[in-house]
């Protein structure tokens, strides 16, 4: 893992740094990222939460903090939480860290459920992320701001569930982990 905390990294340098990190086998986190939980260890602005089977990748550090705390409050636990920086799902960056994060969570034996959170992604990048999640073999929850939960939900055969809020993201993830149907009134 390689964390770029600063928010003053030009876009061209972000792309180059993420490409270099990927070539060296590193998971480049950031820039403009202040939240991560790696192997149970909170980094920067992360909260101490229960360990468990839910792995997260998020372009929003505050969204990542909120969902990890909600998962903990609902009795679930976090395996890994990877902050990508706000521009990662832009057309220029192409979801570089999100896609690497999904792959890392796919290989992580602790991670049973994958959650992806983002501000509105570029449509072509959203399609790549959703495709990668469908291929990875683990159930997933996605919250792309701007999509509504009920309107965006896929059929029962799709491993990817779409959430309309941060609370719904946490509730769906914990329900999937428990193997129970999601009922917002139960949370």
Q: What is the pLDDT of residues 44-70, one digit of tens each?
A: 778 889 999 999 999 988 899 999 999
Q: Report the SS3 class of residue 50.
A: coil
Classify strands 28-29 and 2-3 as parallel, antiparallel or unpaired: parallel
Question: Which is it for the CA torsion 106, 133, 98, 112, positive or negative?
Answer: negative
* Whether the predicted pLDDT of 30 surpasses 90: no
* More reliable by pLDDT, 7 or 73: 73
Instruction: Kindly report the number of other CB atoms within 10 A of residue 131's CB atom.
Output: 12
Question: What's the farthest any 2 CA atoms get from each other in the chain?
Answer: 46
pLDDT in tens, 131-163: 999 999 999 999 998 754 433 444 445 789 999
- Between 16 and 3, the higher pLDDT residue: 16
Q: What is the bridge-based pairing of β-strands 78-83 and 41-44?
A: unpaired
Whole-prediction pTM value? Answer: 0.88
Residue range 163-178: mean pLDDT, rounded:
95
pLDDT digits (tens, 9 = 90+) for 111-122: 999 999 998 899
Query: How many of the other CB atoms lie within 10 Å of CB of 1?
Result: 14
């Amino acid at each position: 893992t390689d964390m770029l905390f600063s928010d003053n990294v030009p876009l061209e340098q972000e792309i180059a740094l993420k490409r270099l990190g990927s070539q060296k086998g590193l998971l480049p986190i950031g820039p403009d990222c202040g939240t991560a939980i790696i192997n149970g260890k909170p980094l920067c602005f992360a909260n101490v939460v229960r360990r468990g089977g839910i792995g997260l990748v998020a372009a929003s550090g505050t969204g990542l903090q909120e969902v990890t705390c909600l998962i903990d409050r609902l009795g679930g636990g976090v395996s890994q939480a990877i902050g990508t920086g706000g521009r990662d799902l832009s057309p220029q960056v192409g979801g570089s860290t999100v896609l690497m994060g999904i792959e890392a969570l796919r290989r992580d034996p602790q991670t049973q459920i994958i959650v992806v959170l983002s501000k509105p992604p570029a449509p072509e990048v959203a399609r790549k992320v959703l495709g990668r999640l469908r291929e990875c073999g683990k159930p997933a929850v996605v919250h792309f701001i701007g999509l509504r939960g009920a309107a965006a939900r896929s059929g029962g055969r799709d491993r990817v569930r779409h959430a309309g809020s941060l609370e719904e993201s946490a509730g769906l993830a914990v329900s999937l982990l428990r193997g129970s149907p999601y009922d917002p009134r139960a949370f």
